[in-house]
């Protein structure tokens, strides 16, 4: 059964290839119509086609708006949180590099700074949404 399926598949592929018209090499005008170059591309495999989007990247019905838009500017809260994270990351790195502390003291300082950082972020969110 397996051999029969392989033979049938090869016959289908062979008939599909033989049904293709002969290629005109060189391109140009021949017989009143344009015939392209001699290169033929065969693509085997599946793909996904969405009827809502065109191949040029625009939504049907809105031809002048591409997918990509300008990035939205960060809010004041985002900037404040980013500043808090940068400050505490700097403090944590300097605590890790401090040679005057023992290993246990460094761990304790880093844990304390991380909890302070998370608390500062929570406070910033509370103050932002309180307004």
Q: What pLDDT, on the 0 to 100 scale, is given for residue 119?
A: 97
Backbone φ and ψ for 41, nearest 5 degrees, come out as -110, 130
Segments of the chain assigned E as strands: 28-30, 33-35, 58-59, 62-66
Q: What is the pTM of this model?
A: 0.47
Q: What is the per-residue pLDDT for 22?
A: 55
Q: Which residues contact 91 (CB under 8 A, 6 or more apart)?
A: 113
Which pLDDT score is estimated for 16?
66
How far is the C-alpha of 108 from the C-alpha of 95, rounded, in Å? Answer: 10
SS (H, E, C) 57-72: CEECCEEEEECCCCCC
pLDDT in tens, 43-80: 555 555 555 555 555 555 555 555 556 678 999 999 99
Regions of the chain where pLDDT drops below 70:
16-70
- pLDDT for residue 122: 97
């Amino acid at each position: 059964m397996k051999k029969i399926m392989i033979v049938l598949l090869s016959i289908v592929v062979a008939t599909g290839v033989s049904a293709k018209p002969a290629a005109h090499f060189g391109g140009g005008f021949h017989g009143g119509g344009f015939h392209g170059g001699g290169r033929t591309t065969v693509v085997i495999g599946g793909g996904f086609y969405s009827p809502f989007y065109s191949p040029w990247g625009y939504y049907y019905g809105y031809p002048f708006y591409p997918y990509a838009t300008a990035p939205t500017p960060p809010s004041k809260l985002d900037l404040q949180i980013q500043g808090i994270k940068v400050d505490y990351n700097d403090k944590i790195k300097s605590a890790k590099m401090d040679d005057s502390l023992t290993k246990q003291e460094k761990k304790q300082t880093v844990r304390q700074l991380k909890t302070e950082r998370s608390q500062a972020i929570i406070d910033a969110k509370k103050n932002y949404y309180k307004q």
